[in-house]
Every structure is written in C-alpha cells, then in structure tokens.
C-alpha cells in the first residue's frame, strides 16, 4: 500500500516504523515530505523510504496520507493541498486540536480519520483514540485500527467530542506521570537517597504498579487499600496528600486540559 507522510516528526516516525515492522507497507511504497533536509536524509537512511520537500509530490498516488505536522503549520499545508486529493484517498491526522471540520473544509476532502495518540507510541506503548468520517470505508478503518494497534492500544469512538476528553487524559497524561516521578525522585533525594538509586526505585515502582493494576483484576482503590495498613507509613503519606487536595488538584488539572482542548478545536488560543 502506498502511504505518504506529511511531516516527519517523532510521532510520525513512530507510525512509520510500526507500519514497516508490521509489514503493512514496504519502504519503496512510502514517501515522507518534510521541510528539513537533515530530517529527510535521516528518514531515508534509516528506513529506506522516499523523501521530498514537496507535499504535493508526496501525496501523488498514495492511498493513505498521514498528516503529522505541527498545528501551527496546518493552515499553510491545507492551503497548499486543498483540492489535491483523490476522492478515494484516506487522510489520517494526528495533529493536536485540528477538528474533522477544520480538516475537511481546509483540504476540501471528506475521507478523514482523526487520531489522538500519545508519546509512548514512540516505543510501541501508546494509547490512541480515533474517529472517522462516514465516508471512510470499512477497509480503511481496518487499516487505521491495525496501524494504531501497532504503536500501542487503540480505541475507536463514534463521537469526535471524545477526542478532546482523551487529549486531557491520555494525550496530556504522560506529562502528569512524568511530573509525579520527578516529585517522588526529588522527595527520595531529600530524605537521603542518591539520585540514581531514587530514580531506579521510583521508575520500577511506577512500572510495577501499572502492571499490577492491569494483571490483578482489582480496582486501583482496592489495591490502594491493600497497601495501606491503618496507622502505617503509607497511611501517613496518603493523609498528607489528602490534606493538600491531591485528588481535587488532579481533577482540576484534567478539567483545565479538557477545556483548553475544546478551545483549540474551536480555533481559540
């Protein structure tokens, strides 16, 4: 299958790598357009794909066009590609905040899949939420599902509104965990651990806890209660988090991200 990538950033590269690993396409059938000559040469040498600085040239003959550009470049790219697509071509967008309506009207095209991926996709551990216009065929939906499944887990939704919610939870979510890891490492250092040891303890604890939630069949609240002995050290720590309004802050943070995602989708800053 011939595939074109408009933009060769990290997320686009993650998809490109997964497509090749899963043999969904061959290097000779993939073209990547990017404004950076250095980036083009890197992708050509690493993956053996065709590269170009011409977006129109890249999409010619492609059955799927992946839009992997930065949001601030979208208007320019849409002006360049408007009316250039064949009716049967699938456009798959991973552009944050770009709604289907924006893409459809800007490109004058109606076969569109919109995806909200997250950064762990770069190591095949991503979480992608996606939707599609009614014009997208069953075969094209299967391809989208297979591709997104190759970079992690994927969930299809029939209402685009869920993508703003996913943006606030799974899209921005890695940053929440990174911040908590930073804070926990810093706390460990302050009580006397070396930074290297603190980092190892925290990272393995985070990974192990996540896998335990997945594999135990128990709800997080139940697991938390199992770890928390009355009057013990964990209870003492959780009491401090409760005093600081930890749960309330997380709820407010996700709400703020969700509202921002909705504003961005509406063209506001």
- Residue 154 region by backbone torsions, left for phi larger than 0, else alpha for psi between -120 and 50, else beta: beta
Q: In this structure, is residue 259 part of a structural domain?
A: yes
Q: What is the pLDDT of residues 79-131, one digit of tens each?
A: 999 999 999 999 999 998 899 999 999 999 999 999 999 999 999 999 999 99
Q: Which of 6-10, 141-145, 170-174 has the lowest mean pLDDT?
A: 6-10
Looking at the fold, whether 129 and 248 belong to one and the same domain comes out as no
Q: What is the pLDDT of residues 212-229, one digit of tens each?
A: 999 999 999 999 999 999
Number of domains the chain is built from: 2
Q: What is the mean pLDDT of residues 176-182?
A: 98
Q: In this structure, is residue 163 part of a structural domain?
A: no
pLDDT at site 8: 83
pLDDT at site 265: 77
**Among 126, 158, 190, which residue terminates a domain?**
158
Q: What is the pLDDT of residues 35-65, one digit of tens each?
A: 999 999 999 999 999 999 999 999 999 999 9
d(CA 113, CA 52): 24
Domain containing 42: what range? 3-158
CA nearest to 259, candidates 99, 97, 116: 97
Looking at the fold, whether 144 and 18 belong to one and the same domain comes out as yes
Confidence of residue 153 (pLDDT cuts 50, 70, 90): very high
Q: In this structure, is residue 218 part of a structural domain?
A: yes
Looking at the fold, whether 52 and 115 belong to one and the same domain comes out as yes
Q: In this structure, is residue 187 part of a structural domain?
A: yes
Torsion angle of C-alpha atoms 198, 203, 209, 214, degrees rounded to 10: 180
**Among 131, 158, 185, which residue terminates a domain?**
158
Looking at the fold, whether 16 and 128 belong to one and the same domain comes out as yes
Please say whether the beta carbons of 143 and 24 come within 8 A.
yes
């Amino acid at each position: 299958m011939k595939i074109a990538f408009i933009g060769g950033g990290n997320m686009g590269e993650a998809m490109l790598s997964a497509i090749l690993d899963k043999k969904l396409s061959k290097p000779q059938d993939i073209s990547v357009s990017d404004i950076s000559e250095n980036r083009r040469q890197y992708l050509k040498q690493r993956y053996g794909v065709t590269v170009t600085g011409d977006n129109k040239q890249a999409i010619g003959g492609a059955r799927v066009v992946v839009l992997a550009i930065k949001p601030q470049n979208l208007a320019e790219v849409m002006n360049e590609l408007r009316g250039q697509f064949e009716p049967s071509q699938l456009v798959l967008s991973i552009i944050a905040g770009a709604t289907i309506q924006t893409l459809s009207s800007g490109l004058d095209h109606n076969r569109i899949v919109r995806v909200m991926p997250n950064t762990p996709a770069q190591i095949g551990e991503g979480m992608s939420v996606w939707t599609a216009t009614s014009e997208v065929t069953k075969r094209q939906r299967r391809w989208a599902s297979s591709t997104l499944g190759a970079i992690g887990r994927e969930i299809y939704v029939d209402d685009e509104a869920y993508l703003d919610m996913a943006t606030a939870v799974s899209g921005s979510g890695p940053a929440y965990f990174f911040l908590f890891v930073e804070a926990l490492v810093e706390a460990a250092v302050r009580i006397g651990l070396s930074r290297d040891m603190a980092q190892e303890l925290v990272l393995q604890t985070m990974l192990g806890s996540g896998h335990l939630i997945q594999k135990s069949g128990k709800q997080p609240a139940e697991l938390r209660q199992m770890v928390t002995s009355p009057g013990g050290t964990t209870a003492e720590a959780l009491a401090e988090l409760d005093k600081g309004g930890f749960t309330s802050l997380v709820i407010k943070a996700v709400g703020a991200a969700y509202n921002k995602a909705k504003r961005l989708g509406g063209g506001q800053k």
